[in-house]
Amino acid sequence: MAVAGPVDRGCLICAKHMGVGPLVGPAVWADDQLVVTHRPVDVDGTAFLGYLFVESRRHVAALDELTDAEAEAIGRTVRRAAHGLRTELGAEFIFSAVVGRAVAHFHQHVFVRHPGTPDELDWQAGTGWPGAPRGRLPELIDLCARLRPYLAGPA
């Protein structure tokens, strides 16, 4: 993935957009303003299926630093990603949040609540549920390929 716009050489997300570093996960979709990826595999070689990151290509730390065009593109892409995740995974619910400050580069989390997730698990705990569907890299790549058409155009 080529990077357009200002890049911070010390930023893990800018590095990710160049295809290097610990945050690199399978690519779902990218354009000149945004990059969408799936969460990378964990140390066990699997990842929770249906956890995406929508990131500004330009290095900005926060939501209020986005241009109107970037913010509009993010909103549209998050909605399309949610539609694709629900359709492809039969998700019970789609969560989306701009949270955390560990990496100062705008990124929005978009992730599913899988059917069967126990009710006592709150919105963020479902990703750690032992019964949640997990996949190895080939399954993640397949899911990303299935999601790509949803992000490329109207859904």
Model pLDDT, residue 102: 86
- For residue 33, being part of any structural domain is answered with yes
What is the domain-level CATH number for residue 77? 3.30.428.10
- For residue 81, being part of any structural domain is answered with yes
- For residue 103, being part of any structural domain is answered with yes
Q: pTM value?
A: 0.93
Contact by Cβ (8 Å): 29, 37: no
Model pLDDT, residue 140: 98
Per-residue pLDDT tens over the stretch 52-81: 999 999 999 999 999 999 999 999 999 999
Q: Please state the separation of Cα 131 from the chain's center in Å.
A: 21
Mean pLDDT of the chain: 93
- For residue 2, being part of any structural domain is answered with no
CA distances from 48 to 136, 139, 143, 148 (A): 9, 11, 12, 18
Q: Measuring CA to CA, which residue among 153, 150, 147, 152 is closest to residue 38?
A: 147
- For residue 31, being part of any structural domain is answered with yes
Q: How many domains does the chain have?
A: 1
- For residue 130, being part of any structural domain is answered with yes
- Separation between Cα atoms, residue 100 and residue 143, nearest integer Å: 26
- Containing structural domain, residue 131: 12-152
- For residue 5, being part of any structural domain is answered with no
Angle, in degrees to the nearest 10, between helices 137-152 and 68-89: 120
Q: Assign 1 a pLDDT band (cuts: 50, 70, 90).
A: very low
Per-residue pLDDT tens over the stretch 106-146: 999 999 999 999 999 999 898 999 999 999 999 999 999 99
